[in-house]
Amino acid sequence: MNTRLFLAAAVSSAVILTGCTSGKIHEKSCLLAAAVAEKDETMVTMCLFSEDSAVTVSGTDLDEAVRRAELKNGKPVFTGYTELIVVDGKDSLDLLDHMLNSWKVSPSCMVVKCSDGRTLLEENDPRQLIGRAEQAVRQGKVPQCDIVTVLGELCGNSAAEAAELRTDGSVGRCVIY
């Protein structure tokens, strides 16, 4: 009897201490993919796991864009599960550093370039885009382009090779700065 009581207490403690209570997962929107373009303002197109369509917002920086997406979506955005980041290829070092260290995206999150990331995410299933990039890496058509590898190259060389996903469905090699 003491064993059952101890086991029940241990399981209850684990659930309480890990924050795994009912409904918590539904209180946040998890980010699957994001396309970022920086001109006058930072424009971010986000694909969330729970949504069928992309959300596009702008802000003075990445964090303000996320806050605006939260207002638009009605839920906090959790960035820790992000699997794909689409950049325009310019000034990528600070952007990717912020995403890895502040947004806490997964180290395996892929970084790809597209001249029109917003259109790419709005017109394609982000899971298929991720699959396209992964296949190109496996086939040796493009280099490894996870965020840690890309950031390492950007820090050391101020440029990095990555996959380029084009709006016509093709995949190629490119250099980002």
Confidence of residue 6 (pLDDT cuts 50, 70, 90): very low
Higher-pLDDT residue of 6 and 159 is: 159
Q: Are 160 and 153 in contact (CB under 8 A)?
A: yes
How many other C-beta atoms are found inside a 10 Å radius of the C-beta of residue 18?
8
Amino acid 40: pLDDT? 85
Single pTM value for the model = 0.84
Checking if the pLDDT of 10 tops 80, the result is: no
Higher-pLDDT residue of 156 and 2 is: 156
Provide the phi-psi class of 41: left if phi over 0, else alpha when psi is between -120 and 50, else beta: beta
pLDDT tens for 64-94 read 999 999 999 999 999 999 999 999 999 999 9
- Domains of the chain and any CATH numbers: 23-176 (3.30.420)
Question: Percent of the chain beyond pLDDT 90?
Answer: 80
Compute the distance between CA of residue 76 and CA of residue 92 in angstroms, rounded to an integer. Answer: 25
Amino acid 8: pLDDT? 39
pLDDT tens for 112-148 read 999 999 999 999 999 999 999 999 999 999 999 999 9
Pairing of strands 110-113, 171-176: unpaired
Amino acid 39: pLDDT? 85
Confidence of residue 51 (pLDDT cuts 50, 70, 90): confident
Checking if the pLDDT of 33 tops 50, the result is: yes
Compute the distance between CA of residue 116 and CA of residue 114 in angstroms, rounded to an integer. Answer: 5
Checking if the pLDDT of 13 tops 50, the result is: no
- Span 149-176, average pLDDT: 96
Run of H or E residues at 3: helix 2-18
